[in-house]
Each structure stands twice: as structure tokens, then as C-alpha cells.
Amino acid sequence: MARQYNFRKRVMVTGGAGFLGSHLIDRLLDQGHEVLCVDNLFTGAKLNIDHLRTHERFEFLRHDVTMPLYVEVDEIYNLACPASPIHYQHDPVQTTKTSVHGAINMLGLAKRTGAKIFQASTSEVYGDPAVHPQPEDYWGYVNPVGPRSCYDEGKRCAETLFFDYRRQHGLGIKVARIFNTYGPRMHPADGRVVSNFIIAALKGEPIPIYGDGSQTRSFCYVDDLVEGFLRLMATDDAVTGPINLGNPGEFSMRELAEKVIAITGSKSEISHLPLPQDDPRQRQPDISRAKATLDWQPTVALDEGLVRTVEYFRRFA
């Protein structure tokens, strides 16, 4: 069984050198915990955790979660997986392995140590949804053989594994479905819409919009999302999820581009490119469950979050 502490825990974060993982680690350290950051640095970056190198309660381990890991921990946040189309389509077989084999290995570790384990799932499990906004009991509309399937179906299978480990072994699990998140430490070349738009605007280059720009997304600032992670992990064993975590404010791609141009003061123009295969037309979370169960909802407005994110990206322009 896991060791018991009154307050301090030993927490492992896989994908901890990534965008979300590094922000989560900051919060965990602020709470007084010991943190083991596990990352193979495929999309994560040491720059994101460089400020923690000398922290007495921080440890970094370069490791691929598709391989078993034998450590002693009290809680596991499983965030390891490329999360942008450019990165997860670079090696789709490895992407599926990271989601599936990674989940098996981390669940096995949690079973051995008695650790509570959190799975960072995704709104992509809903595919191109026929229900809007998307509640957790909607099963999705996903192409199982398309170019995005390595990520979509990998995450769906990981959720299956988590709930089967719960049913079969009584494991303490938490599953969060993450909707579009943005903020400082996003990879500048990850191909996601917020980073794409900001980098293009800062360079004065055309801002690329796929299709006519009417497709919508809901953007959650990273600090809000991490707060949701921590609240979900702190719930009692009866709360498993899945729980949507995202900002229900819905914006079209054209609206986002116009906001970025205004905030950066750019002279960039909007260019239109063909719509990628299986790109969802709408994406908006129903966060009723998060409000009721976690007393959680986003507090950072899109304009405010974009200002903070633009300041971070100025170093890369």
C-alpha cells in the first residue's frame, strides 16, 4: 500500500516537462509535495522545468512510459502523450503506444503501490460531435481509421483501461477530458491554433485559418485547467469521472484570429487553407458535472489569457 502522509505526498507527473505538466508541477510544489517529473522529451522541453532544477522537492527522470517504471509514489498524474496533430501524427504508432501501453504501465504501477491515478484524457474522444455542447455521457462520433485516430482512439482505449482497472482491481482513478487549453509554455511549433495565430501575428505573417473560419473551439487558460486537475484528484474515491474540464465560452477561428491581431497590434492578414480531414466543426464542453462535483469553472477570460500568452511568445518571434 502507498505510504501515508498528513500533508506531503510523493507525486509523479508523466509528461511533466510538457506544457500542462510543468504548470501542474509548479502547483504541486507550491502545495508542499515532492514531485517526480517523468518525460522522454519528445514534445516536452527542459526549458519548461529549468526553473525547478535546484528545487529540493523536485526530481527529473527521462523515461518513456511505454516501458515499465518501478518507483514508489502516492499519486500519479498521467499526462504523457503528444497532444497536437503535428506531433501525434509524426509517429502515429508510437502515439497509440504512448496512450495504451503507457496507461497499462502506469495503472500497473498504481496497482502495485496503491497510488491514486489521474488520466489526462481529451475532448477528442467526442470526435466531430453530433451533440453540442458535449456532456460526459455522449459517446462521441470518431473515425477509427483516420489520420487523427492514433490520438483519438488511443485516448478512448486508455479510458477503457482505467475503468477496467477500477472494476477489476478497485483502483482509485480520476479521468478528466481536457478541452482546448492555452497559455505560457505552449510549444511554439506545435501546430495548435493559439500558438499558430500568435506566432504568425508577431512575425507579421498571414494568419492561417482552415476552411472558412466558422468552426468553433472553446479555450481554457492553463491555470484554470490545472486547478480543475487538483480539485478532481482531491475528491473521494467515489468520484472517478470522466469529467469535462474546459471553458464553455465558444469562439470561431475567425474571432480568435481577430483577437490575436488586436492584442499583438499586428498587420497580419488572414489566409484561408483547406480544412484538414476529420477536423471537428464544433467543440464546446458541458461543464455541469465539474461545477456540481468540483465547484469548478474557469475564471480567466480569453482576452486576459491571450495577453499573458502573447507576452510569453514574444521571445520566439
Q: Could you give the angle at the alpha carbon of 120 between the alpha carbons of 51 and 97, nearest 5°? A: 100
Phi, psi of 211 (to 5 degrees): 75, -150
H/E/C letters for each residue in 120-153? EEEHHHHECCCCCCECCCCCCECCCCCCCHHHHH
CB count within 10 Å of CB 212 equals 11
Query: In the chain, how long is the greatest CA-to-CA distance?
Result: 59
- Known catalytic membership, residue 151: yes
* 126, 151, 165, 182: the active-site residue: 151
Residue positions counted in the chain: 317
Give catalytic residues, as residue numbers.
151
